[in-house]
Every structure is written in structure tokens, then in C-alpha cells.
Amino acid sequence: SAAEKGGYDYFMLKEIAEQPRAVADTLLGRIDPSGSLTLDEVRISPSELREIDKVVIVACGTAFHAGLIAKYAIEHWTRIPCEVELASEFRYRDPILDGRSLVIAISQSGETMDTLMALRHAREQGSKVLAICNTNGSTIPRESDAVLYTHAGPEVAVASTKAFLTQLVACYLVALYLGQVRGTKWGDEIQAVIKDLSRISEEVERVLETMEPVRALARTLASKNTVLFLGRHVGYPVALEGALKLKELAYMHAEGFAAGELKHGPIALIEEDLPVVVVVPSPRGRSVLHDKIVSNIQEIRARGARTIVIAEEGDETVVPYADHLIRIPATPTLLQPLVATVPLQVFACELATARGNEVDQPRNLAKSVTVE
């Protein structure tokens, strides 16, 4: 009913708007006043966590994209090798696991059969399993050694939005916690990022306040057949998620690519007026990546692409090459997905509406897939 949707036309719009709150709730009580992390629900002891020599993340769909982003954070802050695998592929390839592997199963519903089967396989190999889950008491956390709940609240729309942002928060918390417990050389950076994370929900709110031009742009693209998404580093999984949202909701051909791969194939797809969304990393921090992606934008624009550029406030270098410029707040590089994903959700939702699609219940999809 309209009341359930809190005055929004669709649950998806309501859930997009709830993201600042969902992010804040997921952080609540997990960062103590001294700026260190307390993750009480993780029932794998610090001494066991110090023994871990490999992390393997398993998930499906949008949760898989959260896992891809987690890999960058985990490897950087903990120096533990991390693999990310589609749950449906995992157990069939005879993965190498033992008692020193930590398997992280990410699932909004906690009932996805592919993910459940992957975690059962991991436990049979003697690995510890940590669930990141949004549904209290669901099967995946019940069968895991430990759980870190996301506090997104119930997500009704089939396309995942607020659950995704809270999965990212949970992944950052796990990465930072592992870094903290293991005392890596990134101690100072970890402290700084914990501070940034505690302010990030305000940044998500600021992004939401500036979404009208994104909606207007989406409406002008309603008759297009294809949209491409490019990103690098953590912007690459963001590009994949932007493309997935567009497939799910707008039923458009959408593909995400690592921008560095452009020259190895995807650039052949560029033609006059093809919309290409580019997620630009911060010019601070890993500035080499920033400069490389700016030249990618120049290359595709020279070939006629219509460039839709998502870039940090104050990044002026992209201005001459952006047909459409979407600004996001400055964040540490690894946290950028929390703000960069939001415009892509709004974009897909508005395109779906403009194309007359059912936003909350896209054709052929289910909220939770309980068959393999």
C-alpha cells in the first residue's frame, strides 16, 4: 500500500532514500569512542583471526559486487590474500580450503541456495565461515560460525539498494577489524578510515539531495538500447553493479568493464551517442588511476560516446570531457563505492519508470532465490 511505501511510489525509492539511516545503523555501536572497532557478534576469536592465511568471499548478484569491493579493502588493510567467488561456481571447482581459511558469505536474505551450498562446502573443509547478512535468524547465519548483521531493515524491492550499501559497510568493518586484530602496518590509516566511515552516512545523504539531474538525464535515455559502465579499482565493481541494476530494472543491455580493459576489446563497441557511464577515482590518493581513467574518457569521447562522468567534487580535470557530470563527495578511495553507487541506483530506477517497467517486481526475477 501507499502507506507501506512511506509516501514513495515504489519501495525501491523508499529504500534508496533510507540508505543514510541504514548505513548509520549498521555502524551503530561498532565503533567505540576511542575510534577502534568492537564487533561482538563475530564469534571467531581474535587469536583464530590472527591464524587466518586466506579469505574467500562467496555471494551472488549484488552481494557478489559487495564482495568484489571487500577484496580491495581486505587485501589493503590486512595483507591477507582474498578471493571473491560467485557462490554458484565455488564448490564445483574444488576450491583449496582448510582450517586457516576464512570464508565470508554475503547475503541479504540469508536464504540464497547457491550461497548456502558454498558455505556448507567450506565448513566441510574445516574452514571458518562468517556470514554478513540482513535477515536475523535466517539459514545462512544459522549455519555459519559467526555473523555480522547488516541493519538495513527489511528490503522489499527485488533490486537490492540499501542492503548493498550496508553490506559494504559490514565488509569494511570486517577488513578494518582484521587489520586491527592483526596489527598491520596500516594502523594510522585504519584509524583515519574509521573516522571517515563514521561520517559517511551524511555524505550519502548529500548525494541523495543532488539526484534530480540524474533523473532528468535518465529520462532522456529511455529509448537507448545499450549503456556501458567503466570503472577502475573499487570503481570497477561499482560499474558492474550499475550495469546489473540497469539490466534488472530497465531490461537494457548494460555491461560494466574495468576501464583498463577498454583497449583490449570493449572500445570496439563505442559508437556515436552511446551512453557510457564512467566512475572516476579520487584525484587524491591513487592519482595514477585517476589520470588513466581521464584519458579513457577522452578516448571514448573522441569516438563519439556520450560520456556520463561520476567524479569527486572539486575534480576539474574531467570537466572538458564530460557530456554529463555527476558530482559525489570526496571520500577515501576505498570508501568511494558508498557514494558512487547511489546515482547509479537512481539512474536505473528512473530509466525503468521511464520505460514503463514495474520497478519493485522486475520480470523474471525473485527477491530471494532458494533453488540452485
User: What is the distance between the alpha carbons of residues 208 and 206, in angstroms, rounded to a whole number?
Assistant: 5
237 binds ligand G6P (CB under 6 A): no
Distance of CA 173 to the CA centre of its chain: 14
Q: Does 282 bind ligand G6P (CB under 6 A)?
A: no
| Residues with a known catalytic role | 367
Nearer to ligand G6P, 108 or 331 (CB): 108
Regarding 160 and contact with ligand G6P (CB under 6 A), the answer is: yes
Measured from the CB atom, the residue of 91 and 327 that comes closer to ligand G6P is: 91
**Residue 158 sits in the site that holds ligand G6P (CB under 6 A):** yes
Contact status: 136 vs ligand G6P (CB under 6 A) = no
Q: How far is the CB of 195 from ligand G6P (least distance, A)?
A: 29
Taking alpha carbons only, the member of 232, 181, 159, 155 closest to residue 39 is 181
Spatial distance between the Cα atoms of 49 and 348, rounded to a whole number of angstroms? 39
Q: Applying CB under 6 A, does 109 fall inside the site for ligand G6P? A: yes
> Which cell goes with 156?
522489499
Kindly indicate which of the ranges 105-113, 212-220, 266-274, 280-288 contains the residues binding ligand G6P, using the contact rule CB under 6 A.
105-113
The distance of closest approach from Cβ of residue 125 to ligand G6P in the complex, given in angstroms and rounded to an integer, is: 21
- Which residues are 146's β-sheet partners? 130
Q: Is residue 345 part of the contact set for ligand G6P (CB under 6 A)?
A: no
| 357 is a contact residue toward ligand G6P (CB under 6 A) | no
- Return the number of the residue (63 or 240) whose C-beta is nearest ligand G6P: 63
Among 78, 88, 101, 108, binds ligand G6P (CB under 6 A): 108
Query: Binding marks (x or -) toward ligand G6P, 15..54, rule CB under 6 A?
Result: ----------------------------------------
Residue with smaller CB distance to ligand G6P, 133 or 300:
133
Binding pattern for the stretch 53-92 against ligand G6P, x by CB under 6 A and - elsewhere: -------xxxx-----------------------------
Choose which of 99, 365, 370, 372 interacts with ligand G6P (CB under 6 A). Answer: 365
Cell representation of residue 189: 590509516
CB-nearer residue toward ligand G6P: 141 or 283: 141
- Answer yes or no whether residue 368 interacts with ligand G6P by CB under 6 A: yes
Please say which residue, 26 or 108, places its beta carbon nearer to ligand G6P. Answer: 108
For residues 112 and 105, what is the distance between their CA atoms, to the nearest angstrom?
10
Site residues for ligand G6P per CB under 6 A = 60-63, 107-109, 112, 115, 158-160, 365, 367-369
